[in-house]
Amino acid sequence: MKEAGDCKLEGASDGPINLFDLQVSADLLSACIHCGLCLPACPTYLATGQESQSPRGRIYAVMKSRDGNVKRALDHLSTCLGCLGCQTACPSGVQYESILEQVRPALAARRSWLARTAMRLFFRLLGNYGLLRLLFIPVRIVQRLALDRLPEALVRVAPFLKGTWLGRLASWRQFTPAVPVHKSLPPRLAGKAAMPGGEKSEQVQFFQGCVMDIFYNQVNHAAMKALAGAGLTCNLPRQTCCGALAYHAGDVDIARKLAKENMAHFENFGGEIVVASAGCGAMLKGYEHLFAEGEPERARAAQFSRRVKDFSQVMASHMPAAPKKSESRAGEAPRVAYHAACHLAHAQGVRAEPEAVLNRLAAEGCLKRVPLADAEHCCGSAGIYNLLNTELSLQVLEAKMDSLQASGAEVVVTANPGCLLQLEAGVRARGLNVKVKHLAELCQD
């Protein structure tokens, strides 16, 4: 017989468990005064118009789970993007991120044995960069031969296949960009000031990420070159996956293991740890929360996280003053809109620095800035959310595409690989003549 605090899900989706099994602190829930000011900041609420798809609706459902209806609470929470826009908007200081952190293991326990086993294998694979690159070579070949279009073609011919795994594969293809030929990052890239005849430059450590380096290897190269151009010597220590995807899926044990490995890898190297992926940066900055009070790793994690900086934070503080704008260059400059990645704006609170970098480039005549309505609203990617909740993800993306189309931008820039994937999918679906770029690529253009 299980004690009151034991989880009774056992892989079933409708097993009755109570609030205590969800591991959610009552103090976190009671901070919500149900004022509704979070509603305009919640993309899933805006997409559906349903109270149950809002932050206060989800909190209410968890509170009502005391009555035994935990399935309803988990259903609502499973469709949350985790974008934290509500946390930014909340006047009562509700720590919605902490609520999600406490409930994610219960969400993971609902999955079928097969789904959970496959996801855990995938999360472990992300930590082995060499094997990951090898496995994506056949993916690139499949794309070159257009075989990735086969599931979509079969579903068109036989619509009854839409509800099968083939239908899922067909819907996922839109989120998979062309996998580029991988070009290894340099182990060290000297800053301009470190060149012969120059002064010794400041040393930084670059975090390349797994998804970022597979799908957007060129972004990592651009980021390292931009850092070197700003006078910083950029080093590439041994490293592994940050653990974000595993953590957000509720597999905390895998995230803890990856965190320990990364802390060990970077402890022997001084200087700031620079990240070009906002999702990785948010995870690396939050390593302390993976370990309980009294665990020896907690103090190490706090020290590690203090060193982590987003690419924009480092560039904003090292870019030289803007020269006088060239009128001839300004006339050719593209119109650029900025989409603020949730893991940068909401999770890390980094807002001023990307704006400063873009304004500096605009002052040089490299681009013309155009406003993007609801720039801090989620695009619907949210890690692997677009794979698990594809239909709602695309509904959220529609609102972002409406704003982008209305802006008249020729380029939309962001700072996270998930956002790049999602925005590219939206641009292709609408047939827009808009380029999707990472901030680091603008710094190299």
State whether 410 and 435 are in the same domain: yes
State whether 193 and 309 are in the same domain: yes
Judge contact between 380 and 400, C-beta under 8 A: yes
Q: How far is it, in rounded angstroms, from Cα 282 to Cα 101?
A: 14
Judge contact between 280 and 242, C-beta under 8 A: yes
Residues whose CB is less than 8 angstroms from the CB of residue 353 and which lie 6 or more positions away in sequence, other chains included: 310, 312, 313, 315, 316, 317
List the Cα angle 395/409/402 in 5-degree steps. Answer: 20
State whether 106 and 117 are in the same domain: no
Q: For residue 133, how many other CB atoms are within 10 A of its CB? A: 16
pLDDT, position 355: 95
Query: Which of 342, 212, 338, 322 lies closest to 276 in space, CA to CA?
Result: 212
Residue type, 305: S
**Sheet of strand 335-338, all strands in order from the earlier edge strand to the far edge:** 368-369, 335-338, 411-414, 435-438
pLDDT, position 445: 61
Distances (CA, A) of 149 to 24, 301, 316: 43, 44, 42
pLDDT digits (tens, 9 = 90+) for 133-167: 888 888 888 878 877 777 777 777 777 777 777 77
State whether 264 and 301 are in the same domain: yes
| 5 in any annotated domain | no
Residue type, 349: G
State whether 303 and 208 are in the same domain: yes
| 224 in any annotated domain | yes
| 13 in any annotated domain | no
**What is the average per-residue pLDDT within 365-375?**
94
State whether 257 and 349 are in the same domain: no
CATH assignment of the domain containing 286? 3.40.50
| 205 in any annotated domain | yes
| 183 in any annotated domain | no
| 105 in any annotated domain | yes
**Domain C-terminal end among 272, 296, 315:** 315
**What is the average per-residue pLDDT within 202-212?**
93
**Domain C-terminal end among 86, 110, 134:** 110
pLDDT, position 277: 96
Q: Which of 107-111, 333-337, 356-360, 380-384 has the lowest mean pLDDT?
A: 107-111
State whether 199 and 283 are in the same domain: yes
State whether 430 and 327 are in the same domain: yes
Tally the domains of the chain.
4
| 7 in any annotated domain | no
| 6 in any annotated domain | no
Instruction: For the chain, give the mean pLDDT.
Output: 85
State whether 229 and 295 are in the same domain: yes
- % pLDDT > 70, the chain: 88
Whether pLDDT at 53 is above 80: yes
Whether pLDDT at 198 is above 70: no
State whether 349 and 423 are in the same domain: yes
Q: For residue 215, how many other CB atoms are within 10 A of its CB? A: 21
Q: How far is it, in rounded angstroms, from Cα 111 to Cα 107?
A: 7
Q: Which two tokens stand for residue 14?
A: 């409708």
**Domain C-terminal end among 110, 135, 156:** 110
**Secondary structure (3-state) at 428:** helix
| Of residues 31 and 194, more confidently modeled | 31
**Containing domain of residue 77, as a range?**
19-110
Q: Which of 73-77, 160-164, 202-206 has the lowest mean pLDDT?
A: 160-164
CATH assignment of the domain containing 49? 1.10.1060.10
pLDDT, position 18: 41
State whether 118 and 105 are in the same domain: no
DSSP category for residue 324: P
State whether 213 and 326 are in the same domain: no
CA dihedral 379, 207, 172, 43 (to 10 degrees): -20
Question: How many angstroms from the chain centroid is the CA of residue 308?
Answer: 16
Whether pLDDT at 2 is above 80: no
pLDDT, position 68: 62
Q: How far is it, in rounded angstroms, from Cα 337 to Cα 102?
A: 36
**What is the average per-residue pLDDT within 412-441?**
94
Q: Which of 123-137, 264-278, 340-354 has the lowest mean pLDDT?
A: 123-137
